[in-house]
Amino acid sequence: MDFRLDEEQQALRESVREFAREVVAPTIAEHYEQHTFPYEMVRQMGKMGLFGLPFAEEHGGMGGDYFALCLALEELARVDSSVAITLEAAVSLGAMPIYRFGTEEQKAQWLPKLLSGEALAAFGLTEPGTGSDAGGTRTRAVLDGDEWVINGSKAFITNSGTDITALVTVTAVTGTRPDGGKELSTIIVPSGTPGFTVAPGYSKVGWTASDTHELTFDDCRVPAANLLGERGRGFAQFLRILDEGRTAIAALAVGLAQGCVDESIKYAKERQAFGQPIGNYQAIQFKIADMEMKAHTARLAYYDAAARMLAGEPFKRQAAIAKLHASTVAVDNAREATQIHGGYGFMNEYPVARFWRDSKILEIGEGTSEVQRMIIARDLGM
The verdict on 95 binding ligand FAD (CB under 6 A) reads: no
The verdict on 97 binding ligand FAD (CB under 6 A) reads: no
For ligand FAD, give the closer residue by CB, 111 or 241.
Answer: 241
CA distances from 212 to 27, 174, 258, 280, 375 (A): 20, 26, 25, 43, 26
Rounded to whole angstroms, the Cα distance separating 380 from 382 reads: 6
The verdict on 79 binding ligand FAD (CB under 6 A) reads: no
Rounded to whole angstroms, the Cα distance separating 143 from 190 reads: 17
Per annotation, catalytic residue among 22, 127, 366, 370: 366
The verdict on 121 binding ligand FAD (CB under 6 A) reads: no
Site string for ligand FAD, 212-251 (x = CB under 6 A): x---------------------------------------
**Amino acid in the structure at residue 372:** Q
Rounded to whole angstroms, the Cα distance separating 347 from 379 reads: 43
Rounded to whole angstroms, the Cα distance separating 52 from 343 reads: 41
Least Å distance, CB 209 to ligand FAD, is 12
Out of 69, 76, 93, 141, point to the residue binding ligand FAD (CB under 6 A). Answer: 93
The answer to whether the CB of 158 falls within 8 A of the CB of 245 is no
Out of 102, 124, 161, 229, point to the residue binding ligand FAD (CB under 6 A). Answer: 124
CA distances from 209 to 33, 35, 81, 326, 332 (A): 8, 5, 9, 22, 23
The verdict on 138 binding ligand FAD (CB under 6 A) reads: no
Active site annotation includes 104 = no
Beta-strand pair 165-176/120-124: parallel
Rounded to whole angstroms, the Cα distance separating 292 from 295 reads: 5
For ligand FAD, give the closer residue by CB, 148 or 156.
Answer: 156
For ligand FAD, give the closer residue by CB, 212 or 216.
Answer: 212
Out of 89, 228, 278, 301, point to the residue binding ligand FAD (CB under 6 A). Answer: 89
Q: Which residues bind ligand FAD (CB under 6 A)?
A: 89, 93, 122-126, 131-132, 156-158, 204, 207, 212, 361, 364-368, 370-371
Q: Which residues are catalytic?
A: 366
